[in-house]
Amino acid sequence: MRVIETVRELQSLADAERAAGRRIALVPTMGALHAGHVSLVDFARSRADRVWLSVFVNPTQFDEASDLARYPRTWASDLARCREARVDVVFAPSAAEMYPAGSQTWVEVAELTRGLCGASRPGHFRGVATVVSKLLAAAKPHVAVFGEKDFQQLAVIRRLARDLCFDVEIVGVPIVREADGLALSSRNANLDPEARRQAPCLARALEAAERAVAAGERRRTQLLELVANEIGKAPRAEIDYADLRDPDTLEAAGDPLAGPALLALAVRFRGRDGGSDVRLIDNRVLLPSPSSLRGSSTRRSGT
């Protein structure tokens, strides 16, 4: 396994691999690697000859300096995981390498970033879009692999790749969960024991909504009330947002639901004894059955 720290060296290697006819897959991460990241590496290997993983805690996507300072950094264990997962190259640039002195160029995706995480984290997606563009330019991959837990981020990256004509396939991989349903996240390490016990309320809320849709519920208000009630059972949890969106456009889903709908959640767990909050996200695409949608349409037209 090779560790590279400069853009120029990575670009040179990418040129050589491409000239040899080998496909490159890139897995961008901010480190603190867990089994979810390993699933991305495994998927990437099925799509390419070489798997490259980047480890870079991107300062421009943090809206709070304290959040950036608290983000877990586990370099030694990250390298060990990469070796075990048979990663070919780890790209680990410094902040100065990614943002040279005098940097003043930013990438912004307009409409897709207005709601959900974009509403409560101003500037976050500008930082994400900018650093991903830099990583794609540095690694020159044929395919880049991201987790579906950050559903809005994935939509933003797909849009920027199309709009900026990057010659790369952007692929999403399903969420990996703990046994109790909690989505794997590097931020889980910041949960104190009691907050960790309460954190699966996100998964339970998604499951409650999914069961309701399977039973025929299509009304937006009722579904979001179910979600709020489930999360409300966790005393330390505060909803940042809970919303139903079109999975493709991220615009508001129809009311009643007229097709697949993304149920997206962001929940803050209050810190204990004045400690910092931990914000977790999760999502699920709800899939009303075609037969029930036809039935509800028929009932509405007959009233």
The answer to whether position 178 is within a domain reads: no
Q: Give me the domain span that covers residue 107.
A: 2-173
**How are beta strands 89-91 and 143-147 bridged, if at all?**
unpaired
> What is the model's pLDDT at position 300?
40
Number of domains in the chain: 2
Give yes or no: residues 129 and 274 share one domain: no
Greatest alpha-carbon pair distance for the chain in Å reads 68
> What is the model's pLDDT at position 273?
79
The answer to whether position 180 is within a domain reads: no
Beta bridge partners of 285: 262
Give yes or no: residues 9 and 102 share one domain: yes
Mean pLDDT over 174-200 rounds to 97
User: 74, 34 in Cβ contact below 8 A?
Assistant: no
Domain of 140, CATH number, reads 3.40.50.620
Phi first, then psi, for residue 34 (nearest 5°) are -140, -175
Give yes or no: residues 169 and 36 share one domain: yes
Give yes or no: residues 9 and 103 share one domain: yes
The answer to whether position 208 is within a domain reads: yes
Domain boundary among 173, 204, 234: 173
Give yes or no: residues 42 and 117 share one domain: yes
The answer to whether position 137 is within a domain reads: yes
The answer to whether position 226 is within a domain reads: yes
> What is the model's pLDDT at position 299?
39
Domain boundary among 140, 173, 206: 173
Domain of 279, CATH number, reads 3.30.1300.10
The answer to whether position 179 is within a domain reads: no
> What is the model's pLDDT at position 242?
98
How confident is residue 67, by pLDDT bands cut at 50, 70 and 90? very high
Tell me: pLDDT of 155 over 50: yes
The answer to whether position 51 is within a domain reads: yes
User: For 265-298, how does the pLDDT look when each residue is reduced to its tens digit (9 = 90+)?
Assistant: 999 999 987 789 999 999 999 999 765 545 444 3
Give yes or no: residues 210 and 166 share one domain: no
Domain boundary among 117, 148, 173: 173
Tokens for 288, please give them. Answer: 């009303």
Tell me: pLDDT of 206 over 50: yes
Residues annotated as catalytic are 37
- Give residues with Cβ within 8 angstroms of 90, minimum separation 6: 1, 2, 3, 4, 52, 53, 54, 55, 78, 79, 82
> What is the model's pLDDT at position 291?
58
Mean pLDDT over 176-197 rounds to 97
Mean pLDDT lowest among 163-177, 185-199, 289-303: 289-303
> What is the model's pLDDT at position 303?
32
The answer to whether position 131 is within a domain reads: yes
- Alpha carbons 13 and 140: distance in angstroms, whole number: 10
